[in-house]
Amino acid sequence: MVANKHGISPDLLIHPGETISDILEERKITQKELAQRAGVSEPFLSDVIHGKKDISKKLASGLEYALGVPSSFWLNLQANYDSEFLSLHEEDTIQAEERNIYKSIKSDVVIPDNLTQDQIIIWLRRHFRVSSLVCLQELAERT
């Protein structure tokens, strides 16, 4: 896998719900009480705490009122988690078509050594500033 620009290990990636859980424990508040105070359902809050759902704008706003922690903190926490999660799972987004295109363009570009095929595809995406190597083929056909 291409090195994560933030260097976080998959083992250290913590869903924002764990932060909520820690605060509940620290302040001795139940999930039910927090859900009521934050204006969300208890099942929804439970899903967030267990990493099954993300912190929504509504929940972030409710947490600001209920816990006195700004909604921007919660939204940024979620955004940072999402970014790190995407970065860690970037290779999962490689399409079969990209693998074929990669074979035709790799000889034209100086690529860093010691990378796997998937790592090279991710590197080429960044090099050419495209979200998929398929875009290169489409752009080439237009010219």
Q: Is the pLDDT of residue 5 over 50?
A: no
Classify the phi-psi angles of 62: left when phi > 0, otherwise alpha if psi is within -120 to 50, otherwise beta: alpha
**Residues 8-56 pLDDT 10s:** 666 678 999 999 999 999 999 999 999 999 999 999 999 999 999 999 9
**Stretch 100-117: mean pLDDT, rounded?**
76
Segment (H or E) for 22 = helix 16-27
Domain boundary among 70, 88, 106: 88
Intra-chain end-to-end CA distance of the chain, in Å: 33
The amino acid present at 108, given as its one-letter code, is: D
**Measured distance CA(143)–CA(139) in Å, rounded:** 7
pTM: 0.69
Q: Is the pLDDT of residue 103 over 80?
A: no
Start-end of H helices in the chain: 16-27, 31-38, 42-49, 57-67, 71-88, 96-105, 117-128, 134-142
Report pLDDT for 72.
97
Report pLDDT for 136.
80
Domain that residue 100 falls in: 92-142
Domain co-membership, 20 together with 79: yes
Domain co-membership, 73 together with 99: no
Domain co-membership, 42 together with 78: yes
Domain co-membership, 26 together with 80: yes
Domain co-membership, 110 together with 40: no
Domain co-membership, 72 together with 109: no
C-alpha count within 13 angstroms, C-beta hemisphere, residue 14? 9
Q: What is the mean pLDDT of the chain?
A: 86
103 alpha carbon, distance to own chain's centre: 28
Domain co-membership, 59 together with 96: no
Domain co-membership, 102 together with 122: yes
Token pair, residue 10, equals 């998959």
- Please give the share of the chain, as a percent, with pLDDT higher than 70: 86
Residue 3's pLDDT band, with cuts at 50, 70 and 90, is very low
Domain co-membership, 76 together with 103: no
Q: What's 70's domain CATH number?
A: 1.10.260.40
Domain co-membership, 24 together with 84: yes
**Measured distance CA(121)–CA(106) in Å, rounded:** 9
Domain co-membership, 97 together with 84: no
Residue 3 maps to a domain: no
